[in-house]
Amino acid sequence: MSESKVKENNTFRPPVVAILGHVNHGKTTILDNIRKTNVQSCEVGGITQKISVFTVNLDLTGCNKITFVDTPGHEAFDLMRVRGGNVADIVLLIVAANDGVMPQTKESIDIINRSTAKPIIVINKIDMPGIDIAKIKRDLANNGLSSEDMGGKVPVVEVSGKTGKGIKELLDMIKLVVEVEGLQKRSPLADSINGSGMVLESIKDKSQGFVSTVVMLQGSAKKGDLLVYQSGGKIVTDRIKGFITEESCNLDTLEDGCGGKVIGLSSMIDLGSTIITLSSDNKCNAQGLYKSTVKCIEEETCDFKESSDVSKEDMLADFFGTGNADGVEKKNLNIILASSSEGSLEAIKKSIAAIESEQVSINIKKAKVGDINNSDIELAKIQKSIILGFEVSMECGVHDSASKNKVLVRTYDIIYKLIDEIKDTVDMLESGQEIEEELGNAEIRQIFVLSNGSKVFGCRVKSGYIKRGERIYIVRGDDIIAKGKVISMKHEKTEVNQAKVGDDFGAIIDPVPTNAIEGDKLFCFTVSK
């Protein structure tokens, strides 16, 4: 890229730089190197599962701040990557030198080619042995993104996020692209509007209420301003109570080109929607100003939106229904979803929609942001549903209520494990295999040998409940060492049918687990087909 093309402009707002690429290609590691942080080491499963925004102070003349949008690389989070591309002035396409072009690399190229953002190819992990950078460039060109040395216009920077090699050159390239290309021109805001931006994520926080991650694309947002946004498709006016960064630092203002989290909102803001900020004396005109701003933005970005084949969120809600396949009644797998954010909920729903089965109908009965509560258990009981949670907890008493009502509740910290669980359940339903639902578990504390040679296992229930006649596994560490059924249970010399959390009981198991020892775990399951 020639320095002679540099425009005469010494002052820039912070450019918004989205980071796209395939999972495990080093996006967060590169950002960690730039920010001098270690976010990647704290990520569950070693992968990014949320969209994050960071405004970084840098010692770059004329470009001393950059706002980075870090996006997940797993295939389930494609809509997050689209939103990242939508707000970006520049997109860094991260390609691992040892992997080359992968499925989400191709998807990211498609996002780049349908956006107005300026791309930079970043070939990461150049410290790995046996790499072929020339092949990567050829493959990128064959997929629609040609580097400068392949006859295209896209600059390439080679880096190692691990060692820091090439990071300075990458930052210099971002600065150069800003200077050469300028920042995306946007229609001026109406005089009465303080600022506008886009929502990238929305969550429900126990202490902060509804919280939304936003990037300001024009003007500013200040504490005390009126915030106008969409919630459930309706226009809502709120008062800004403040902002926090990803590092939990409090802010009073989000300037043009910066991002952060708006806290204390009264409603959940729709993902990908526009926000505007107003002074208090414009409250009466809030809806009209909002509609005119959205219309103007849509006109500017209509080419991208019309060519995109990504489904809208409101199309996902009705993906699921019952029906027949070739005259055969389908089995129903009813699910209640609870997730930590609107973005991850969206990703899970879209992934479930892609699961194909001629024999099983997957029905999402409820999808929510927030922890699993007793109301969810009651609904699951009525609708004969399982409850799946992602990055959420169970409120007090939920575990016992689930056990009492025989509702299967499972939580996950890694999204692909949740999706794999659903796929496995569908496979079992299709094949007619038994499905085991855990009722509870207990610890074997004592083993008594009776005069007739039989054994009684003295146990204490740790979670859920143990029920006579149901299937049990004896587990030591990660290994199942015995299987059987509880054929007799006694609590304080009284025969009982089940024992709940905290109860001590003696059990006779058939067949006798002769290799069981004190300290082993006893898991109890009910079985269905």
Same domain, 56 and 159: yes
Please confirm whether the linkage preceding 155 is cis (ω < 30° from 0). Answer: no
Please tell me whether residues 148 and 216 are part of one structural domain.
no
> CA–CA separation, 215 vs 111, rounded Å?
19
Q: Does 97 reside within a domain? A: yes
Among 399, 374, 377, CA closest to 386: 377
- Does 447 share its domain with 381? no
- Is the same domain home to 199 and 155? no
The verdict on 400 and 295 lying in the same domain is no
Q: Are 391 and 443 part of one and the same domain? A: no
Statement to judge: residues 278 and 295 lie in one domain: yes
Tens of pLDDT, residue by residue over 338-386, are 999 999 999 999 999 998 888 888 999 999 999 999 889 888 888 888 9
Q: Report which secondary-structure segment, H or E, holds 487.
A: strand 479-491
Same domain, 357 and 474: no
Give me the residue label for tokens 């800003």: 178
Same domain, 121 and 72: yes
What's the pLDDT at 299?
A: 66
pLDDT tens profile 477-526: 878 899 999 999 999 889 999 999 999 999 999 999 989 999 999 999 88
- Considering 398, 413, 433, which residue would you say is the last residue of a domain? 433
Whether the model pTM is above 0.75: no
Domain presence at residue 186:
no
* CATH label of the domain that carries residue 368: 3.40.50.10050
What is the CB neighbour count within 10 angstroms for residue 356?
A: 8
Question: Same structural domain for residues 427 and 446?
Answer: no
User: Hey, which bits of 220-327 come out as E strands?
Assistant: 221-222, 226-231, 234-239, 243-244, 250-251, 253-254, 259-265, 274-278, 324-325
Q: Write the CATH number for 256.
A: 2.40.30.10
**Containing structural domain, residue 292:** 193-307
In a domain, 187, yes or no: no
Number of domains the chain contains: 4
Determine the Cα–Cα distance for residues 30 and 42; give it in Å rounded to an integer: 15
Does one domain contain both 326 and 405?
yes
Does any domain span residue 405?
yes
Phi, psi of 468 (to 5 degrees): -65, 140
More confident call, 99 vs 311:
99
287 found inside a domain: yes
pLDDT of 408 above 70 = yes
The H or E element spanning position 505 is strand 504-510
389 lies in the same domain as 325:
yes
**Cβ-Cβ contacts under 8 Å for 295 (sequence gap 6 or more):** none
pLDDT at 320 over 60: no
Residue 301 falls in which region: left (phi positive, over 0), alpha (psi -120 to 50) or beta: alpha
Please determine, for residue 413, whether its predicted confidence score (pLDDT) is greater than 90.
no
CA distances from 387 to 194, 274, 319, 364, 408 (A): 43, 32, 18, 10, 6
What mean pLDDT is predicted for residues 89-113?
Answer: 91
